[in-house]
Structure 1
Amino acid sequence: MTITQLTYVLAVAEHRNFTLAAEKCFVTQPTLSMQIQKIEDELGILIFDRSKKPIQLTEIGNKIVTQAKNIVNESIRIKDIVDQQKGFIGGEFRLGIIPTIMPTLLPMFLNSFIKKYPKVNLIIEELNTEEILTKLHNNHLDAAIAATPLEDEKIKELVLYYEPFVVYVPEQHEFSSQKTIDPNQLDPNEILLLRDGHCFRDGILNLCQRRDNIHPPAFEIASGSFETLIKLADEGLGITLLPYLHTLDLNDKNREKLRQFRDPKPAREVSLIFPKSELKLHIIEALRSVINGVVKGAIAFHDVEIISPLSKK
């Protein structure tokens, strides 16, 4: 069997469809089917149960796919070893970033990174945490930047920085007379949240769920952007919480409405995450070095309490 044949097996296992797998592998469907058939004939077993729709892995097929992932990853590692020996940092690198980090962090480091490592073809996708983990598990991303810890045994996490939550308080709100806010003062029923699927939303809910003041809300407004939440707060519909870096781009009038939490400040942990196979680790380390270099001047908070980004269901 060949690495190419194993790659075809992994594509069918992921997409559960020979035609779609062939498209993703840039080969014709008959070619892909023939190569998989050769492996099955060589081993004397069936990897896929073709009688089911969508196609299913057989019991032995599940074990073969697990091993095939290891073999394909290790074959890629050989090129990594050669590149690191040569000191070469280049090639395609696929990076995922969650939506609440992308607009603030990316402009801070992207220009510096591409100037320092011009041979790296950086392909960036904005994805939620669930999508990122799926793509990392299926080798469709090399790394990602997300809120952690994620408690995923297949993923490694390199902490980049800790980003405090900041409260945005409209002028007419009772908090506007305070310099700092205690998390125990928060009424979860008046906090304007991002819509489901955002881990920043889950972090806020986790912060509030430790309190005893949760009641059935009179209404709920969920938006996909912090800008919308700020405008809704200004209309007197509640308060909202923002990540610290996002507050740096607010105008002077809106910055006056910000209130910090008392120490230890509730914060999210932002990390560079990647599969434990550590493929392209030299590029990952280069990326971490550049990000640390540009972020350390913007965030210098140490007395923080990390709030989990995981949804409590």
Structure 2
Amino acid sequence: MTSLGALIVDQAQRVLEEANALKHLAKHGQDPLSGPLRLGAIYTIAPYLLPSLVRIARERLPNAPLFLEENFTVRLLEVLRQGALDCIVIAEPFASAGLNQIDLYDEPFLVAVPKGHPWEDRQSIPHRELKEQNTLLLGTGHCFRDHVLGVCPELNRLGSGSTIGEQRSFEGSSLETIRQMVVSGIGISVLPRTSAPDLTNQDQLISYIPFEEPVPTRRVCLVWRKNFPRAAAMDALAEVIRECALPGVKYI
């Protein structure tokens, strides 16, 4: 796109935003907490955040029902900038030009191994040892895949089914699919803490083991356009998310 084209698109989005603000004002008055909110979340956050979020939001924001969408980070940012979503929950890093954000929480990663695995009774795992195992990764496009490759760069040399020595890498389409592949004994994986059950009541078929310090984490943020007129609704939504009591995360 040329620079002129980008300016035209930007101006069109501003006009659309202003039109939407006028429609909201006409229908709901000046209350930013009244009216639907269109919320997107990435695939590795949505299944673990949204159940609690929706339940609490019904109580805290009764006049702001949530329209929900799951997608990849790149696609959510695109739809957000086009005005088809009001806000998104994603993990850093991302292109933040023209956007506001509230940092919500830092989420640690865990190693998931099948029952009977030699690591099952270990108290922690150094990230450098991941390359010694058959490792299950999300497919290309998932930002969590990039986070895991950042933890163990050696895995970046592996495509799906490729090897380093005797070790192989395999891909799954979702964290839940990967979890079942771990259960079946294909390999180990790295999962975000919120996707694992209460560690005091371990899964009967999987052991979840913390990393050694420094523990790898991801920072999760609520993101919206700078010209979105209902900033107070974003503050309220962030507070609702902080009430969700997600396991193992450190709220900011």
TM over 0.5: yes
Compared with structure 1, are the counterparts of its residues 69 and 188 closer, same or farther at alpha carbon in structure 2 (3 Å cutoff)?
Answer: farther
Deviates more, 1:222-231 or 1:193-202: 222-231
Q: Deviations over 1:206-262 (max 9, x none)?
A: 2211x5995652644211232332232233321111111111268634486111012
SS at match of 1:133: helix
Q: In the alignment, does 2:223 pair up with 1:279? A: no
Deviates more, 1:166-175 or 1:156-165: 166-175
Q: In the alignment, does 2:92 pair up with 1:153? A: no
SS at match of 1:174: coil
CA positional deviation for 1:79? 6.8
Compared with structure 1, are the counterparts of its residues 115 and 173 closer, same or farther at alpha carbon in structure 2 (3 Å cutoff)?
Answer: same
**d(CA) in 2 for partners of 1:154 and 1:119?**
28
CA positional deviation for 1:111? 1.1
Compared with structure 1, are the counterparts of its residues 212 and 257 closer, same or farther at alpha carbon in structure 2 (3 Å cutoff)?
Answer: closer
Q: Deviations over 1:33-90 (max 9, x none)?
A: xxxxxxxxxxxxxxxxxxxxxxxx9986654443333334345456778999954511
**d(CA) in 2 for partners of 1:161 and 1:268?**
8
Q: In the alignment, does 2:74 pair up with 1:130? A: yes
CA positional deviation for 1:141? 0.5
SS at match of 1:257: strand
**d(CA) in 1 for partners of 2:142 and 2:171?**
11
**1:1-313 equivalences in 2 (<5 Å):** 63-77=7-21, 86-187=30-131, 190-209=134-153, 217=163, 219-248=168-197, 252-254=202-204, 257-295=207-245, 298-301=247-250
Compared with structure 1, are the counterparts of its residues 83 and 284 closer, same or farther at alpha carbon in structure 2 (3 Å cutoff)?
Answer: farther
Q: Is 2:81–2:225's contact at 8 Å kept on the other side of the alignment?
A: yes
Q: TM-score, normalised by structure 2?
A: 0.82
Q: TM-score, normalised by structure 1?
A: 0.67
Identify the structure with the greater helix proportion. Answer: 1
Compared with structure 1, are the counterparts of its residues 74 and 231 closer, same or farther at alpha carbon in structure 2 (3 Å cutoff)?
Answer: closer
User: What residue number does 1:28 align with?
Assistant: none
SS at match of 1:115: helix
- Computed over aligned residues only, the root mean square deviation of the Cα atoms, in angstroms, reads 3.2
Question: Which is greater in Rg?
Answer: 1
AA aligned to 1:289 is: E
Unmatched runs of 5 consecutive residues or more in structure 1:
1-56, 303-313
Q: Deviations over 1:139-165 (max 9, x none)?
A: 110001111121331222211111111
Tell me the number of residue pairs that the alignment of Structure 1 and Structure 2 aligns.
244
Q: Deviations over 1:165-188 (max 9, x none)?
A: 100122343322421111122217
**d(CA) in 2 for partners of 1:61 and 1:74?**
20
Q: Is 2:198–2:247's contact at 8 Å kept on the other side of the alignment?
A: no
Q: Is 2:147–2:218's contact at 8 Å kept on the other side of the alignment?
A: yes
SS at match of 1:180: coil
**d(CA) in 1 for partners of 2:80 and 2:112?**
34
CA positional deviation for 1:113? 0.5
Q: Is 1:187–1:214's contact at 8 Å kept on the other side of the alignment?
A: no
Q: Is 1:80–1:279's contact at 8 Å kept on the other side of the alignment?
A: no
Unmatched runs of 5 consecutive residues or more in structure 2:
none
**d(CA) in 1 for partners of 2:140 and 2:155?**
23
SS at match of 1:299: coil
SS at match of 1:181: coil
Compared with structure 1, are the counterparts of its residues 254 and 264 closer, same or farther at alpha carbon in structure 2 (3 Å cutoff)?
Answer: farther
SS at match of 1:228: helix
Compared with structure 1, are the counterparts of its residues 226 and 157 closer, same or farther at alpha carbon in structure 2 (3 Å cutoff)?
Answer: same
Compared with structure 1, are the counterparts of its residues 171 and 205 closer, same or farther at alpha carbon in structure 2 (3 Å cutoff)?
Answer: same
Compared with structure 1, are the counterparts of its residues 117 and 187 closer, same or farther at alpha carbon in structure 2 (3 Å cutoff)?
Answer: same
Identify the structure with the greater strand proportion. Answer: 2
